[in-house]
Amino acid sequence: MRSRRYALAAGLALAYSLALLGDQMLYVFLPSDPAAAGIAAASLGIVLSANRFVRLGANSLGGLLSDRLGRRRPYLLGMALALASTTGYLLSSSFWPLLLWRIVWGIAFALISVGGVAIMLDLSTSEDRGRTVGTYQSLLQLGTLLGLVLSGVLTDLLGYRGTLTIYVPLAALGLIVAVWVLRAPGAGEGSTARHEGSAGLGTLAALRPLDARLLAPAYVTFASLFAGSGVLMATLGVYLKQLAAEPGTTLVVPIASLTGMLLATRRLAGMVGAPIAGHLLDRFGNRRNVAAAGVLVSLMGFMVLATGRRVGMVATGVVLVAVGESLLHPAVVVWTGDGTPPHLRGVVMGGLATAGDLGAALGPLVGYALLETAGLRAAYALCAALTLSALLLLASVRSAAPPAQRA
């Protein structure tokens, strides 16, 4: 059973990574040459962010469909839409068609990401849920990192449309992989996919009695992604440039390369840290304490970023934030899964994803607003304060029940 579960995790991670290639390529290539897609530089922000704002509504809807129809059909629909969006990128040559396909991708990603986590929660037990989720998230990070590297290499060699010509059949392969790994009996069916009252007003009524402690993981997710994916990811390059301009500072590595290397540590930390977090979650059972440890490490990182005046201290801060996130994110998913009935896991995980997407969408806006006024040290101090509030919230709530008491 365990080997089957890990094989399913690997298969879904591969499908996810193949579906994500088109989106990753846009982020890698378009900032330097938006004209290749037929859009103006002023439109770039709208095109790249449209999918994230769509997900604010699509996450919970995708989770609701996953609970109502079973995990398999919404997941495969998401993979089909990912193939359609990648094909649309290839065929689009102006702003509006490309924006349309970015919206389609936002819906696709919501179905794939929420559905994949729900499947992992369904197929795990409380005794091995940490390792299952940790392994799945580690493989997702690996696929994402390889996809970013591949996109950079291919776009340098083949250009925008040449790379998409390769990515369309790879997205089709991802759909085939998803169909294959979800073909087995029980895979992707959901525990009670058609549970009475699991849709519409019935879902709202069923959500009311859920433990209010589930709000804590949602807030912690919001705070973490606001600070890490939002503020830090968007402003790190600018911060390094400011530090490099100060007297007495000499960089051995160019700023762009250094920024890329530091941002890559987030993926690398996730690859290594997620399985470790999963092991700790299953061994000790206390989801809150593992989450709190991750928040504490991230808090230390933002304190270093807010006070550091040398590039070495900034690098240390980034690494600490990345390590903290690698412990925190699996713990939050497992904690939420423990506290949610199987027939509501889709919609609840959709809500958790929405909290994270909201934080990641607001973070860059706040970060750049502070850049123009109080400066980036103030932005990182705000991130530290928000992270501290998450830590205090975790300290004030009781942890989920030990694994042995939950199914």
pLDDT at 400: 53
CB 30 within 8 A of CB 37: yes
Give the distance from CA 271 to its chain's centroid: 13
Full set of structural domains in the chain with CATH: 2-190 (1.20.1250.20), 212-397 (1.20.1250.20)
Residue closest to 137 by CA, chosen among 34, 44, 256, 6: 6
pTM of the model: 0.84
pLDDT at 190: 61
Kindly calculate the radius of gyration of the chain based on its CA atoms and give it in whole angstroms.
Answer: 21
Identity (one letter) of the amino acid at 150? L
What phi and psi values does residue 38 have, to the nearest 5 degrees?
A: 80, 25
What distance in Å separates the CA atoms of residue 135 and residue 281, rounded to the nearest whole number?
Answer: 12
- The tens-digit pLDDT sequence of the chain (407 residues) is 667 788 899 999 999 999 999 999 998 888 788 999 999 988 888 898 889 889 999 999 999 999 999 999 999 999 999 999 999 999 999 999 999 999 999 999 999 999 999 999 998 888 899 999 999 999 999 998 899 889 988 999 999 999 999 999 999 999 999 999 998 766 666 654 444 444 454 555 455 555 565 789 999 999 999 999 999 988 888 888 888 887 766 667 777 678 878 888 888 998 999 999 999 999 988 899 999 999 999 999 999 999 988 888 999 999 999 999 999 999 999 999 988 888 889 999 999 999 999 998 899 889 989 988 999 999 999 999 999 999 999 999 876 554 444 44
* Residue showing tokens 């089957």: 4
pLDDT at 196: 45
pLDDT at 358: 93
Give the distance from CA 311 to its chain's centroid: 27
pLDDT at 66: 93
pLDDT at 189: 64
CB 118 within 8 A of CB 66: yes
What distance in Å separates the CA atoms of residue 46 and residue 376, rounded to the nearest whole number?
Answer: 24
Give the distance from CA 197 to its chain's centroid: 29
- Give kind and range of the element (H or E) at residue 215: helix 215-225
Q: Across the chain, which distance is largest between two alpha carbons, in Å?
A: 68
pLDDT at 198: 44
Neighbour tally for 322: CB within 10 Å: 25
